Amino acid sequence: MQDIKKRTYAIEKAFLSPYACASENTRGRDRQEKPCEMRTEFQRDRDRIIYCKAFMRLKNKTQVFFSPEGDHYITRLTHTLDVAQISRSIARSLSLNEDLTEAIALGHDLGHTPFGHSGERILDKLSKHGFKHNVQSVRVVDVLEKDGRGLNLTFEVKDGILNHTKSGNAATLEGKCVSLADRIAYINHDLDDAVRAGLLTLDDVPKDIIHVLGNTSKERINTAISSIYRNSVNKNIVEMDVEVQKASEHMRAFMFDRVYYSKTAKSEEDKAERMLTEMFDYFVKNTGELPQSYINLIEKYGEEQTVIDYLSSMTDRYAVYMFNKIYVPRGWSFIDESN
């Protein structure tokens, strides 16, 4: 079976770009482990991520709109799959390591909160240390998964997860693929959601954006990937050309103005803030009611950080359920003794 992994190493050596991160050259894990006979370390990381609990919860976490009723709105899970597909397409075109790219993409949003970026802003207010979803995603894979043992991922995967945001600077080109793919995915598919929700129409998108990027999500994504290929192939960079980059930034600014910070998207944020704030205060005072896996973390990380960890792990509907369980009176059944 070791021949399988050796064959993978040989294929990478023959076909990957000299700027790619070869699986054989990983900087390894914080805790040494016995290697898998068949899989590379990046392939193992990918598998660990898709089977972890945090990944499973992504299907019920908001991307833009709170707990949308329709079946075809983007969730954190479908967004994550979009990012994985786009980033692998970029990596393939540039002869980079697709396994590493996919592992980073699948793990990049594991630490995201319920209620999308509204939830992130709320927990950032509540936590004395601040809260950023990319930092929390690393905390998920380092500490919170597997009852405090973490997933023990490789340096390259964790670095890509931490640095997938616009302000990040990943150590590998594969990580840079995911960072760009994240932005490409959300500005395009979130636009589709906004149109589906009646928040705007495609005619509202500035014409100069459409002229450069295209009329449909398919066209705009293809334009972005093609631009990255033309500008980055056989180079130690992963970048769009100036024209496409400017149009993409304009698109991103348009989405923040008309969608992410719109009254519709934020209409329930005040309710979410009251809900998460009340639960934060409640669990800090009643830590014994936390799940046992979180109680075990209190001695090392403190009550407030542990409660933040718990709240950030919640799905939208579980947060509503837990709030109702704590604060909403349940109906009382009684026997009518008047007869």
Mean pLDDT by 10 residues, the chain (339 residues): 86 97 97 94 98 95 66 81 97 98 98 92 96 98 95 98 95 98 93 85 94 94 97 97 97 90 77 95 97 96 97 95 91 52
pLDDT at position 75: 87
CA distance 82 to 185: 6
CA-nearest of 119, 99, 95 to 109 is 119
| In the block, residue with structure tokens 């100069």 | 208
pLDDT at position 1: 67
Reduced DSSP (H G I as helix, E B as strand, rest coil) percent helix, strand, coil of the chain, to 5: 65, 0, 35
* Confidence (pTM): 0.93
CA-nearest of 136, 143, 103 to 117 is 136
- Determine contact, residues 244/211, Cβ cutoff 8 Å: no
Strand partners, 29: 154
- Residue 212, token pair as written in the block: 């450069």
